């Protein structure tokens, strides 16, 4: 029989949460056309 798993620590929960951050940041940038604006001459100005 395997040992009973303990509750996750707050640090471990934050690791799971931050695993979702990069895809969400990229999706938001795509929706706001950040990559299209950065390709234009003049940049973000």
Choose among 17, 25, 28: nearest CA to 9.
17
pTM of structure = 0.55
CA distance 12 to 30: 29
Predicted confidence band at 30 (pLDDT cuts at 50, 70, 90)?
very high
Instruction: Give the alpha-carbon dihedral of 28, 39, 45, 42, to 10 degrees.
Output: 180
Q: What is the mean pLDDT of residues 24-39?
A: 86
**Residue range 3-17: average pLDDT?**
88
Mean pLDDT of 14-26: 92
């Amino acid at each position: 029989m395997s040992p009973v798993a303990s509750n996750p620590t707050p640090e471990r929960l934050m690791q799971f949460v931050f695993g979702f951050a990069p895809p969400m940041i990229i999706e938001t940038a795509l929706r706001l056309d950040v990559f299209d604006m950065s390709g234009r001459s003049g940049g973000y100005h």
